[in-house]
Chain A
Amino acid sequence: MMIADTPLADRTALTDRTALTDRTALTDRTTALRQDFPILQRVLPNGRPLIYLDNAATSQKPQSVLDAMDDYYRRYNANVHRGVHTLSEDATTAFEAARTKVAKFINAPSARQVVFTRGATESINLVAHTWGRANLGPGDEVLITEMEHHANIVPWQILQAQLGFTLRYVPITAQGTLDLSTLPDLLTPRTRLFSFVHASNVVGTINPVQELVAAARAVGAKVLIDGAQSAPHMPVDVQALDADFFVFSSHKMCGPTGIGVLYGKRELLEAMPPFLGGGDMIREVTMTGSKWNTVPHKFEAGTPSIAEAIGLGAAVDYLQQVGMAWIQTHERAITQYAYTRMAEVEGLHILGPAPDARGGLVSFTLEGVHPHDLSAILDRSGVAVRAGHHCAQPLHDRLGVHASARASFYLYNTLEEVDELVQALHKAQEIFTL
């Protein structure tokens, strides 16, 4: 889609007076928030300040998250759910408190419905290996979309080869939105699961969850929502969404890597067989067999990522203190501005819908400059963006591009950083047209 199509009203939005006042308020808050992130004070080897626009890949971490993890290792490092000594009790309390914080963050009815995993990818694999194995077979269908991250494609492909069900895809339009007109044909009584992304990591599209869930319900299909790019950036209420499963990763929402979440409806989690076998997931083990622990522990074999869970809990505290609604508003303003400014760059094509229908990221191609080269040249200006197919090869195939570059924003990004990005884009163009 050509950027030049952007309505004039959008382009001038930031020049009207109200918007300018908003811009000042936005800048003040962001300037203060930036102080919370030690890495943002970093100067790169070439003397440039860091302009981090790769937040859809992973976010930076505030001091409070680093402190929480450090405190665990320094003061009460011990295994959870085992010892009765002080350290183990402290560790268990902090670990389970993190679970409660996460439950409140997504408005889960109970902390027991929050399963800790290694990340959104493992969460989807967990559902595939447990719920999938128990519920899918020949004649059944799993519906996903052409917009999915590989994490919501490959687990189903692997399982499909073993169980013989059919995997179907909701196509996307040229604008990078789901083609909803195909839903009546694709969702049938054979559909056992509709698994789709909440917010796209490439085209930025925020999918109409309510409509999709209603369509799935009408045929009795379960719903898995991949919230890897939504939970960090907007208020999420899993009950309002009526998700059967909702998955996300800690590291994209100011938390550490190595931990993520699977939320599930109670009756589904209870009925699912365990995932990995080992310690902590059992109630009783004999030579002839074992009984499983209660949910969520049934799905958490072995010593979990304790420091990481505590770090995630601190990240949730931080995000709630900032305010998810504020974060969403802030990112909308940045994205709107980026979209408009990037539109002025000749030969730049943005993938996906207009700013009002997207989350805080802009993927694009620049005529004559391969995304890899572009990323390398932007890096010289201190600007970090992602280049490639962003783990969504089928989507790129569908859009007819081999690769794209992506600028993705978070609560600490500023409009000035967008200006730097645009300036660096012009520089890249100069180098390649010399």
Chain B
Amino acid sequence: MGSDDLYREAILDYYKHPRHKGHLDSPDVQYHDHNPFCGDEITVELKIEDGVVVDAAFDGHGCAISQATASMLMEEIIGKPLDEIKAIDKEFILEMLGIEMGPVRLKCALLPLKALKAGAYGLEEWPE
């Protein structure tokens, strides 16, 4: 596992200077999720027009991996149709981050995606 890559410059940059962090005015979708084991929290908000995400924001707190991933993910999805967002998977996130990681840190990286997809599907609660 490329532990040295875990904190590559881009990830640290997104962590320290997050893009799209905060809240949208009257978002069409808002979903909050957290990881009970480490306490990381993410809220994702989307503005949708004709099935396309026209704006997105996240808020929360947690480790560099979860927060940087959330920020990068918001950048990725703006302008994309909801259908495309629903198809985003684990491989997409790993490719976006450009690192490999073990199962524990993977949970950190996938938390923003979990919140995003639940929001995109309009779920009240993540089906366990």
Asked, given contacts A387-B38, A389-B39, A432-B12, whether A377 binds B62 with beta carbons under 8 Å apart, the answer is: no
Contacting residues, chain A, for B84 (C-beta < 8 A):
none
Interface assignment of A403: CB less than 8 Å from any CB of chain B: yes
Within 8 A of B (CB), among A397-434: 402-403, 431-432, 434
- Are the CB atoms of A388 and B37 closer together than 8 Å? yes
The answer to whether B7 and A396 have CB atoms under 8 Å apart is no
Q: A380-B3, A431-B12, A434-B12 are in contact. Are A396 and B39 (CB under 8 A)?
A: yes
**At the interface, yes or no: B108 with Cβ under 8 Å from chain A?**
yes
Bound Cα distance A396, B38 (Å): 12
Chain B residue contacts of A396, Cβ below 8 A: 39
Query: Would you give the shortest CB distance from A126 to chain B, in whole angstroms?
Result: 25
Contacts of B108 in A (CB 8 A): 372
Contact with A along B34-50 (1 / 0, CB 8 A): 00011111000000000
Contacting B39 at CB < 8 Å: which of A46, A388, A432?
A388
Is A373 in contact with chain B by the CB < 8 A criterion?
yes
When the two chains form their complex, are residues A373 and B39 in contact, meaning their CB atoms are under 8 A apart? no
Asked whether, in the complex, the Cβ of B64 is within 8 Å of the Cβ of A373, the reply is yes
Tell me the total A-B contact number using a CB cutoff of 8 A.
46
CB distance A379 to B3 under 8 Å? yes
Tell me if B105 counts as interface (CB < 8 A to partner A): yes
Contact with B along A362-405 (1 / 0, CB 8 A): 00000000111100110110000001110001001000001100
- CB contacts (< 8 Å) of A46 on chain B: these are 3
Contact yes or no, A370 B12, CB < 8 A? no
Please give, as numbers and ranges, the residues of chain A lying within 8 Å of B91 by CB-CB distance: none
C-alpha gap A373/B16 in the complex (Å):
13
Who on chain B is nearest to A371 by CB?
Answer: B63
Name A375's closest neighbour in chain B (CB-CB): B63
| B38 touching A372, Cβ below 8 Å | yes
User: Complex Cα distance A18/B115, Å?
Assistant: 58
Contact mask A12-31 → B, CB, 8 Å, 1/0? 00000000000000000000
Residues of B within 8 A of A370 (CB): 62-64
- Cβ contacts B44-73/A at 8 Å (1 or 0 each): 000000000000000001111100000000
Contacts of A387 in B (CB 8 A): 38
A396 to B37, CA, bound (A): 13
Would you give the shortest CB distance from B111 to chain A, in whole angstroms? Answer: 12
Residue-wise interface mask of B (9-44) relative to A, using a CB-CB cutoff of 8 A (1 in contact, 0 not): 100100010000000000000000000011111000
Q: Is B6 an interface residue (CB 8 A)?
A: yes
* B124 close to A (CB within 8 Å): no
B36 to chain A, nearest CB (A): 8
Chain A, range 203-222, C-beta contacts under 8 Å to B: none
Give the chain A neighbours of B105 by CB distance below 8 A. Answer: 372, 376
Q: Assess whether B128 is interfacial by the CB under 8 Å rule.
A: no
Q: Which of A373, A388, A402 is close to B7, meaning CB atoms less than 8 Å apart?
A: A373
Inter-chain CA distance A46–B37, complex, in Å, is 27
- The CA of A389 and the CA of B62, in the complex, are separated in Å by 12
* Residue B95 lies at the interface, judged by CB distance under 8 Å to chain A: no
Considering the complex, give the chain A residue whose CB is closest to the CB of B64. A373
Contact A403/B39 with A370-B64, A373-B64, A373-B65 known, Cβ cut-off 8 Å: yes
**Residue from A371, A372, A377 whose CB has the most chain B CB atoms within 10 Å:** A372
Residue pair B63, A380 in contact (C-beta under 8 Å): no
Cα separation A434 to B12 with both chains bound (whole Å): 9
Q: In the complex, what residue of chain B is closest to A431 when comparing beta carbons?
A: B7
With A379-B3, A380-B4, A387-B38 as contacts: A373 and B63 at CB distance below 8 Å: yes
Knowing A389-B39, A393-B39, the reply to whether A376 touches B3 (Cβ < 8 A) is yes
Residues in B whose Cβ lies below 8 Å from that of A403: 38-39
Residue of B nearest to A389 (CB): B39
Instruction: Specify which chain A residues have a CB less than 8 angstroms from the CB of B65 in the assembled complex.
Output: 372-373
Would A388 and B63 count as touching, CB distance under 8 A? no
Q: Tell me the minimal C-beta distance from B108 to chain A in angstroms.
A: 7
A389 cross-chain contacts in B, Cβ below 8 A: 38-39
A392 to chain B, nearest CB (A): 11
User: In the assembled complex, how far is the CB of residue A20 from the closest CB belonging to chain B, in whole angstroms?
Assistant: 37
> Are B12 and A372 in contact (CB-based, < 8 A)?
no
A84 to B37, CA, bound (A): 47
A431 vs B38: C-alpha distance when bound (angstroms): 22
Which residue numbers of A lie inside 8 Å of B, CB to CB?
46, 370-373, 376-377, 379-380, 387-389, 393, 396, 402-403, 431-432, 434
A372-B40, A388-B37 given. 10 additional CB < 8 A pairs? A46-B3, A370-B64, A373-B7, A373-B64, A376-B6, A379-B3, A389-B39, A396-B39, A431-B12, A434-B9
Closest 4 CB pairs of A and B: A372-B63, A370-B63, A373-B64, A402-B39
- B residues with a Cβ closer than 8 A to A are 3-4, 6-7, 9, 12, 16, 37-41, 61-65, 105, 108
Pairs across A and B, CB under 8 Å, 29 listed? A370-B63, A372-B40, A372-B62, A372-B63, A372-B105, A372-B108, A373-B63, A373-B64, A376-B6, A376-B7, A376-B105, A379-B3, A380-B4, A387-B38, A388-B37, A388-B38, A388-B39, A389-B39, A393-B39, A396-B39, A402-B39, A402-B41, A402-B62, A403-B38, A431-B7, A431-B12, A432-B12, A432-B64, A434-B12
